[in-house]
């Protein structure tokens, strides 16, 4: 439980969750949107995964991360409430815009 809240208690990880609401993303897409170093993004994603907030789906050399849909009750409830929050935040909106237009074939090379 503490692990779940620790995972949520970081602005960049909340940004990741908000952009995953739109669609699953691979590490390089998240890296691109957050404009941070790739190892850093990978680490944040790992923390969210360990907490059960997101799931990873490895396909080839990519790892697609998506919001968890079978976590425990607390996780499901929090993810649901998060969807109705922060949608007018300029930063989250910009992130989503970037995520929407991100193309991994352009980004990751």
Partner DNA sequence: CCTACATATGCATATATATAGATATACCGA
Partner DNA sequence: TCGGTATATCTATATATATGCATATGTAGG
Contact footprint for DNA (CB under 7 A): 6, 9-10, 12-13, 26-28, 31, 36-40, 42-47, 56, 58, 60-63, 104, 107-109
Contact assessment for residue 48 and residue 15, using Cβ atoms and an 8 Å cutoff: no
Nearer to DNA, 36 or 78 (CB): 36
**Interaction of residue 8 with a copy of itself, rule CB under 8 A:** yes
Tokens of 22: 């739109």
Q: What is the dihedral of CA 102, 94, 11, 106, to 10 degrees?
A: 20
> Of DNA, a copy of itself, none, which one does residue 108 interact with (CB within 5 to 8 Å by kind)?
DNA
> Of a copy of itself, DNA, none, which one does residue 48 interact with (CB within 5 to 8 Å by kind)?
none
Q: Give SS3 for 2.
A: helix
Contact assessment for residue 96 and residue 18, using Cβ atoms and an 8 Å cutoff: yes
**Interaction of residue 77 with a copy of itself, rule CB under 8 A:** yes
């Amino acid at each position: 439980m503490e692990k779940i809240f620790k995972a949520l208690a970081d602005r960049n990880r909340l940004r990741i969750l908000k952009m995953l609401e739109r669609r699953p993303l691979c590490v390089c897409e998240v890296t691109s949107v957050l404009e941070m170093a790739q190892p850093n993004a990978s680490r944040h994603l790992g923390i969210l995964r360990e907490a059960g907030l997101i799931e990873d789906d490895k396909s080839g050399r990519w790892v697609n991360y998506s919001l968890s849909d079978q976590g425990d009750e607390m996780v499901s409830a929090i993810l649901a409430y998060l969807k109705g929050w922060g949608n007018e935040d300029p930063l989250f909106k910009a992130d989503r815009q970037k995520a929407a237009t991100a193309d991994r074939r352009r980004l990751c090379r």
